[in-house]
Amino acid sequence: MFVRYLMAMQLFMLVCSSPLHAAQKPVDNGALAGLETAKVIFDVRLADLDSLIFNLKLMDETWEGIATQNVKPEMIVAFRGPTVKLLTSAELDEEARHLFRLLKKKGVRFEACGVAMRIFKVAPAGLIPEIKLVANVFNSLIGYQNKNYAIIVIN
């Protein structure tokens, strides 16, 4: 009798746990509830193209996740440090260029740090057209945080 009870409990737990949890899609609507817009600035410091492409894809997925919940994404991507070396036509591959164009069409704004461009000896004329050169990304980060943009640091 006790063995049957244990077997029945195991069967019940097996039936109730795995399929239900596997079928549930994770949601993040609690964080965005009540928002009309979601403002974020990404502080990006990466040194290799693969990491840049990975994070551009993640930014696109984030934009989509916000937009599908009827919240308007306002995204700015501020590049500084060695990342500026990757932002030229000569360094970016077609996949990266496509992601920049796609995100720009969605309204994502891109900024490259003039200080980093000078330090890393990157010619401003080489920047892809989707990226705006600013004097100092630190000023952008300060300004946008004071305008209630959330900051996400990507190293």
* % of the chain residues with pLDDT over 90: 81
Whether 11 maps to a domain, the answer reads: no
Whether 120 maps to a domain, the answer reads: yes
**pLDDT score recorded for residue 142:** 98
pLDDT band at 27, cuts 50/70/90? confident
**pLDDT score recorded for residue 6:** 47
Whether 28 maps to a domain, the answer reads: no
Our count of domains for the chain comes to: 1
Whether 88 maps to a domain, the answer reads: yes
**pLDDT score recorded for residue 24:** 78
Whether 16 maps to a domain, the answer reads: no
Whether 33 maps to a domain, the answer reads: no
**pLDDT score recorded for residue 3:** 53
To which residue do tokens 């050169």 refer?
Answer: 133
Whether 17 maps to a domain, the answer reads: no
**pLDDT score recorded for residue 29:** 80
Whether residue 78 contacts residue 141, with contact meaning beta carbons closer than 8 Å, is answered with yes
Average pLDDT over residues 7-25: 58
Whether 83 maps to a domain, the answer reads: yes
**pLDDT score recorded for residue 64:** 97
CA atoms of 51 and 154, how far apart (whole Å): 10
28-58 confidence digits (pLDDT tens): 888 999 999 999 999 999 999 999 999 999 9
Query: Parallel, antiparallel, or unpaired: how do β-strands 131-134 and 37-44 relate?
Result: unpaired
Range of the domain at 148: 42-154
Kindly report the pTM of this predicted structure. 0.84
CB neighbours of 131 closer than 8 A, spacing ≥ 6?
Answer: 79, 87, 100, 110, 111, 112
134-145 confidence digits (pLDDT tens): 999 999 999 999
Between 100 and 4, whose confidence is greater?
A: 100
Residue type, 89: S
The CATH number of the domain holding residue 53 is: 3.40.1260.10
Average pLDDT over residues 78-89: 98
pLDDT at 8 over 90: no
